[in-house]
């Protein structure tokens, strides 16, 4: 089978797995993604390695678990020794181009230590996590020097030193005052930018320009939307396309608040949870969240049309996913962080144009897969071997080809380091005492907390994760069994970054080939040395 020429890797920020028409949401309008789902294979049990942007994305970009790459939270630098998809492509004389968000924080100290001069091409490669940043816009703050969005907005008439805060995430109140979308009471109002000038439209325009410029060439593009992540501020008409009657019932149960787990209890006390515990907040924010997804769908449709009209789609692997979900009031919580499926389970759709993938078009795969599988899937599609690379994920192409070589998992892993959150102070924990690990199978979800009792959910009987069995003596044996599984995984997980397993295997017991003899007695070997 001939390798593909191109890759389009699309990632949304904070998009829940259950907020697409093709995943079963009854009211949201996502016609382009629904149509796309019929052309590709949709994975219904895809999980990220962390419920927070930074560590989740670094796992996705490296193909490695959080405990292996070391980026445990947002704004934690990616160690300079960690290899990313961009590094692997560069070795093949390809670039990994970026339009949108990456959340990569450079390991400046590490780069300086190895003597790389600032602003050189190598420095830029290392500082960007291997991306060629065509236009990086991480969102959730002023666009940095990497993005032309702020100047572009000024050219459209949005005059301000900070047009993002002053227009993109601001609105006009009924009394004529400018109000901020950072405050959730205002998010029902339309953003002060037109839809065609929003972040979502801007990066789409950039992507379409890129596709036109690259027509007929080899390319790999990471198109990374910053929405539907907060601030939940949408431009007209997306700000009011949905109302409270269109949202899914909030998933929470008073039973959860009876003798809650200490970490969960600490999160309940955080401002975002106190805010989203109010029904008023849920009814105001969720419709706007749906509107932001609706806009992403519209813009993604424009990208698909460009690929289809140009014929490039017949040469292109397309991956659509998210870096994590959004709680939005479920379990009486706001934001994300924790291990509920609303956070760590994400949409994942993969399109391969080759005829070998025809048998699975429009079908779903219910096996457990992980975000770390995306890098090996991309490399596999391009005909690049992963055997010599320290990648911990598996290519998903065998699923698309209905191959018996598909590697099936018994469980998936996700991790958290909540040391940066107020919950740490509530629990009076030290920064090195705030780790948690999730082991999730089809039937059980087990969560190990550093310094606290575990959590356990029976997903068959309690799919909404209302009843924590970790405190039930009757389930102590199951907790012990799953903890042993987790401990075995921890022992087996490979933290080696400079050599692949294959290279280690090739070098096993080969010391004598390098003239090294360990306490040898044999005279023959001594003569051989001479």
CATH number of the CATH domain containing 109: 3.40.720.10
| Residue 528 belongs to domain spanning | 499-530
Q: Does one domain contain both 287 and 147?
A: yes
Tokens matching residue 57: 């994305």
- Judged on CB neighbours under 10 Å (0-12, 13-18, 19+), 328 is buried
Residue 409 has pLDDT above 90, yes or no: yes
Residue closest to 405 by CA, chosen among 457, 356, 350: 356
Residue 142 placed within a domain: yes
- Judged on CB neighbours under 10 Å (0-12, 13-18, 19+), 402 is middle
Query: What's residue 406's pLDDT?
Result: 83
Coil/strand/helix, residue 148: coil
Confidence of residue 404 (pLDDT cuts 50, 70, 90): confident
Q: How many CA atoms lie within 13 A of 529 on its CB side?
A: 13
- Which parts of 24-134 fold into alpha helices (H)? 31-37, 53-62, 66-69, 85-91, 108-113, 121-127
Q: What separation, in Å, do the N-terminal and C-terminal C-alpha atoms of the chain show?
A: 51
CA distances 231 to 167, 214, 291, Å, are: 12, 33, 13
Query: What's residue 140's pLDDT?
Result: 72
Mean pLDDT in residue range 86-109: 97
Confidence of residue 115 (pLDDT cuts 50, 70, 90): very high
Q: Assign 3-state DSSP to the chain and report helix, strand, coil percentages, each to 5.
A: 40, 15, 45
Query: What's residue 520's pLDDT?
Result: 58
Residue 1 placed within a domain: no
Q: Does one domain contain both 491 and 503?
A: no
Q: Does one domain contain both 451 and 489?
A: yes
Q: What's CA 282's distance to the chain center, in Å?
A: 24
Query: What's residue 515's pLDDT?
Result: 61
Residue 517 has pLDDT above 80, yes or no: no
Q: How many domains does the chain have?
A: 2
Give the rounded percent of residues in the chain with a pLDDT score beyond 70: 93
Residue closest to 8 by CA, chosen among 298, 374, 272: 374
Coil/strand/helix, residue 439: strand
User: How far apart (Å, rounded) are the C-alpha atoms in residues 379 and 400?
Assistant: 15
Q: Does one domain contain both 506 and 475?
A: no
Residue 526 has pLDDT above 60, yes or no: no
Whether residue 415 contacts residue 55, with contact meaning beta carbons closer than 8 Å, is answered with: yes
Mean pLDDT in residue range 103-110: 95
Query: What's residue 146's pLDDT?
Result: 72
Residue 447 Rama label (left phi>0; alpha psi -120 to 50; beta): beta
Confidence of residue 393 (pLDDT cuts 50, 70, 90): very high
Q: What is the pLDDT of residues 272-314, one digit of tens each?
A: 999 999 999 999 999 999 999 999 999 999 999 999 999 999 9
Give every CB contact of residue 446 below 8 A, 6+ residues apart in sequence.
Answer: 438, 439, 440, 454, 455, 456, 479, 482, 483, 485, 486
Mean pLDDT in residue range 49-71: 97
Q: Which residue has the tokens 């198109």?
A: 223
Mean pLDDT in residue range 105-131: 95
Tokens matching residue 403: 């191959």
Tokens matching residue 416: 């958290």
Residue 131 Rama label (left phi>0; alpha psi -120 to 50; beta): beta
Q: Does one domain contain both 356 and 390?
A: yes
Q: Does one domain contain both 419 and 512?
A: no
CA distances 39 to 11, 122, 169, 400, Å, are: 18, 39, 35, 11
Query: What's residue 497's pLDDT?
Result: 55
Q: Does one domain contain both 229 and 289?
A: yes
Confidence of residue 512 (pLDDT cuts 50, 70, 90): low
Ranges assigned E (strand) in 218-269: 219-228
Residue closest to 237 by CA, chosen among 295, 302, 318: 295
Whether residue 188 contacts residue 288, with contact meaning beta carbons closer than 8 Å, is answered with: yes
Confidence of residue 513 (pLDDT cuts 50, 70, 90): confident
Residue 530 has pLDDT above 70, yes or no: no
Whether residue 134 contacts residue 206, with contact meaning beta carbons closer than 8 Å, is answered with: yes
Q: Does one domain contain both 445 and 522?
A: no
- The DSSP 8-state label assigned to residue 117 in this structure reads P
Q: Does one domain contain both 304 and 190?
A: yes
Residue 227 placed within a domain: yes
Q: Does one domain contain both 197 and 125?
A: yes
Strand partners, 369: 46
- Asked if residue 228 has a cis previous peptide bond (ω within 30° of 0), the answer is yes
Q: Does one domain contain both 10 and 153?
A: yes
Q: Does one domain contain both 449 and 522?
A: no
Mean pLDDT, the chain, integer? 94
Residue 67 placed within a domain: yes
Indicate if the alpha-carbon torsion angle 94, 99, 103, 105 is positive or negative: positive
Residue 403 placed within a domain: yes
Whether residue 171 contacts residue 192, with contact meaning beta carbons closer than 8 Å, is answered with: yes
Strand partners, 321: 11, 348
Residue 257 has pLDDT above 80, yes or no: yes
Q: What is the pLDDT of residues 158-209, one digit of tens each?
A: 999 999 999 999 999 999 999 999 999 999 999 999 999 999 999 999 999 9
Mean pLDDT in residue range 74-78: 94
Give the rounded percent of residues in the chain with a pLDDT score beyond 90: 89
Whether residue 347 contacts residue 369, with contact meaning beta carbons closer than 8 Å, is answered with: no
Indicate the range of 196-210, 373-387, 483-497 predicted with least confidence. 483-497
3-class SS letters over 167-203 = HHCEEECCCCCEEECCCHHHCCCCCCCCHHHCHHHHH
Query: What's residue 220's pLDDT?
Result: 98
């Amino acid at each position: 089978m001939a390798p593909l020429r191109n890759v389009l890797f699309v990632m949304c920020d904070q998009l829940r797995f259950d907020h697409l028409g093709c995943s079963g949401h009854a009211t949201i309008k996502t016609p382009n993604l629904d149509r796309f789902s019929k052309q590709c294979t949709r994975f219904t049990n895809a999980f990220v390695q962390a419920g927070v942007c930074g560590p989740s994305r670094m796992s996705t970009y490296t193909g490695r678990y959080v405990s292996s790459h070391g980026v445990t939270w947002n704004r934690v630098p990616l160690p300079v020794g960690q290899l990313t998809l961009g590094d692997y492509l560069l070795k093949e004389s390809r670039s990994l181009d970026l339009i949108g968000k990456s959340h990569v924080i450079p390991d400046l100290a590490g780069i300086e230590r190895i003597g790389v001069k600032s602003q050189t091409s190598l420095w830029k490669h290392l500082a960007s996590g291997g991306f060629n940043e065509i236009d990086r816009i991480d969102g959730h703050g002023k666009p940095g020097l990497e993005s032309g969005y702020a100047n572009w907005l000024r050219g459209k008439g949005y005059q301000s030193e900070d047009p993002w805060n002053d227009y993109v995430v601001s609105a006009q109140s009924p009394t004529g005052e400018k109000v901020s979308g950072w405050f959730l009471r205002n998010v029902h109002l339309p953003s002060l930018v037109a839809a065609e000038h929003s972040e979502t439209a801007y990066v789409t325009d950039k992507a379409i320009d890129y596709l036109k410029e690259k027509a007929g060439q080899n390319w790999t593009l990471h198109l990374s939307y910053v929405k539907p992540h907060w601030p939940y501020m949408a431009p007209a008409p997306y700000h009011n396309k949905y109302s409270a009657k269109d949202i899914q019932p909030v998933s929470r149960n008073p039973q959860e608040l009876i003798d809650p787990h200490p970490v969960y209890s600490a999160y309940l006390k955080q401002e975002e949870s106190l805010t989203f515990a109010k029904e008023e907040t849920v009814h105001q924010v969720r419709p706007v969240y749906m509107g932001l997804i609706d806009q992403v769908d519209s813009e993604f449709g424009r990208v698909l049309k460009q690929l289809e009209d140009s014929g490039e789609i017949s040469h292109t692997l397309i991956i659509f996913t998210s870096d994590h979900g959004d709680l939005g009031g479920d379990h009486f919580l706001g934001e994300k962080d924790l291990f509920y499926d609303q956070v760590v389970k994400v949409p994942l759709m993969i399109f391969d144009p080759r005829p070998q993938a025809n048998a699975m078009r429009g079908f779903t795969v219910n096996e457990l897969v992980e975000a770390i599988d995306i890098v090996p899937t991309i490399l596999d599609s391009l005909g690049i071997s992963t055997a010599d690379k320290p990648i911990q994920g598996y290519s998903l192409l065998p699923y698309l080809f209905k191959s018996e070589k598909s590697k099936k998992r018994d469980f998936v892993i996700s991790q958290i380091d909540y040391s940066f959150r107020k919950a740490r102070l509530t629990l009076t924990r030290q920064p090195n005492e705030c780790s948690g690990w999730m082991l999730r199978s089809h039937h059980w979800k087990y969560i190990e907390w550093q310094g606290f009792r575990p959590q356990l959910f029976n997903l068959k009987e309690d799919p909404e994760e209302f009843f924590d069995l970790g405190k039930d003596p009757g389930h102590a044996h199951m907790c012990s069994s799953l903890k042993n599984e987790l401990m075995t995984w921890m022992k087996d997980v490979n933290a080696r970054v400079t050599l692949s397993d294959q290279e280690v295997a090739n070098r096993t017991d080969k010391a004598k080939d390098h003239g090294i003899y360990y306490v040898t007695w044999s005279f023959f070997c001594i003569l051989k040395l001479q």
